[in-house]
Amino acid sequence: MSKEAIGNLSRTKAIMQKYHLHAKKGFGQNFLTNPAVLNGIVDAAAISAADNVIEIGPGLGALTEKLAQRAGQVLALELDTDLLPVLADVLSDYDNVTVLNQDVLKANLPQLIAEHFADPAKPVKVVANLPYYITSPILMHLLGTPVEWANITVMMQKEVAERLAAQPGTKDYGALTLAIEYKMDAKLAFTVSRRSFVPAPNVDSAIVTLTQRAQPLAVLPSSEKQLFALIKTCFAHRRKSLWNNLKPYFKKDAAKTAAVQQVLADLALDPQIRPERLSLAQFIQLANALQAAGM
Ligand code: SAM
C-alpha cells in the first residue's frame, strides 16, 4: 500500500506524535497541511525533471516530497537539527533529495550548488514556505547571491507579498520593493488561508513568484553597493523629506551641501518630497549623480 502524503493532516499529526515534535515558534515553524496548496506551489514554480531545486526550511518534508516527485534534484536546507532524523525517515523513498543542516542566511549558495547538484548547469529554482520572521533577510540574501535563479517561488505573509510589487508613494513601497524590482519581476500567484497550516499562523499568506526581469533596466547604477546604501539611507526615516534623509551625505560641510543641492536641481528632484515617491530609475540616477559629485 502506498504511503499517505506527508502534507496530509493525519500523516503530519502522526509524524509529530511519533517524534514527540512541537512546532517551534522561534524557528517560524508552521507546517503546511493542505495538499492543494502544496501542489499549487510546485505548479507556480513550474518544476520539471530538468530543474535543480533548493528548498529553504523543509520542516517535516511536506513540500520536499512534492518537489522530489517532480524535480531532477532537491537540496533542502533546514536549521532545526531535531528535524534531521525525521526528514531522513519520511523522505527515505526519494533518492534525489539531500537535506543539509544549514542556516540559509549563512549558506554559501554557489558553493552548495556546485557541490550537491549532479549537473550544476541546470536551472536552479528556489522554493519555500519561508520562516516568516526572516522573510526579508532571506530574499535579500538570495538576491545578493551571484546565482541567476530560474525562479524563486516562496510563501510569505500576505502583507509582505503586497510590499514586493508596491508602487512608489504607497505605504508598502520600500527598500525591499526596490531590491526586488532591481533584479526580478514579482507576481502574486495565489493567497493561502491560515487554516492551511499546523499550527495556524496569526496572518494569511501568499505565494509569490520572482522571475528574472524581462525588461533590462533603462539606466544602470555605477555601483550597486552605493545604490543600495543610498536606498537604505533614504528609507531610514520614511516620514522625513528627501533632503533630511540625505543629510548623512553632507552633514555640516558647506561645499558638500551645495553639491547635493546642485545634484537635486540637475535631476529636477524637489528636496522636500518624501523618498518613497522616487522610482527605482530616479534612485539610480541620484546614486550615480552623487557618486559623480564625489559623494
Ligand atoms: N516546508 C515546511 C512546510 O511547508 O510545512 C516547513 C515550513 S516552516 C514555515 C519554515 C521552516 O524553516 C521550518 O522548518 C524552520 O525550522 C526552518 N527554518 C527557520 N529558520 C531557518 C533558517 N535560518 N535556515 C533554514 N531553515 C530555517
Question: pLDDT, tens digit, for every residue of 240-263?
Answer: 999 999 999 999 899 999 999 999
Q: Residue 290: CB partners within 8 Å, gap ≥ 6?
A: 226, 230, 249, 260, 263
Q: Is 192 helix (H, G, I), strand (E, B) or coil?
A: strand
According to CATH, where is 1.10.8.100 located in the chain? 224-293
Spacing, Cα 79 to ligand 1 middle (Å): 7
Residue of minimum CA distance from atom 18 in ligand 1: 57
Cell triple for 147: 546565482
Any ligand 1 atom below 6 A from CB of 29: yes
Any ligand 1 atom below 6 A from CB of 228: no
- pLDDT tens profile 70-92: 999 999 999 999 999 999 999 99
What topology does CATH give the domain 9-212? Rossmann fold (3.40.50)
Spacing, Cα 77 to ligand 1 middle (Å): 8
Q: Is the complex ipTM more than 0.90?
A: yes
Residue 223 has pLDDT above 70, yes or no: yes
- Helix locations, 94-201, DSSP H: 109-116, 135-144, 158-164, 175-183
Say if residue 78 carries a ligand binding annotation: yes
- pLDDT tens profile 129-159: 999 999 999 999 999 899 999 999 999 999 9
- pLDDT tens profile 6-55: 999 999 999 999 999 999 999 999 999 999 999 999 999 999 999 999 99
Any ligand 1 atom below 6 A from CB of 129: yes
> Which residue out of 21, 56, 81 has the highest number of ligand 1 atoms within 8 Å of its CB and is therefore the one to mutate?
56
pLDDT at 165: 81
**Matching CATH number, 224-293, of 1.10.10.60, 1.10.8.100, 2.60.420.10, 1.10.510.10:** 1.10.8.100
The H or E element containing residue 38 is: helix 35-44
Q: Is 37 helix (H, G, I), strand (E, B) or coil?
A: helix
pLDDT at 2: 62
What's the mean per-residue pLDDT of the chain? 96
Say if residue 57 carries a ligand binding annotation: yes
- Give the global pTM: 0.92
Q: Residue 161's CB: how many other CB atoms inside 10 A?
A: 22
Say if residue 270 carries a ligand binding annotation: no
Residue position matching grid coordinates 549558495: 109
Any ligand 1 atom below 6 A from CB of 56: yes
Per DSSP (E only), the strands in the chain are 31-32, 52-56, 73-78, 97-101, 124-129, 151-157, 184-192, 197-198, 205-212
Cell triple for 13: 499529526
According to CATH, where is 3.40.50.150 located in the chain? 9-212
Note whether 35 and 5 are within 8 A (CB). yes
- Ligand 1 atom showing the smallest separation from residue 103 Cα: 24
Distance CA 137, CA 104 (A): 10
Residue of minimum CA distance from atom 3 in ligand 1: 31
What is the DSSP track for 246-286? THHHHTT-HHHHHHHHHHHHHTT--TTS-GGG--HHHHHHH
pLDDT at 295: 86
Distance CA 57, CA 164 (A): 21
- Ligand 1 atom showing the smallest separation from residue 64 Cα: 1
pLDDT at 270: 97
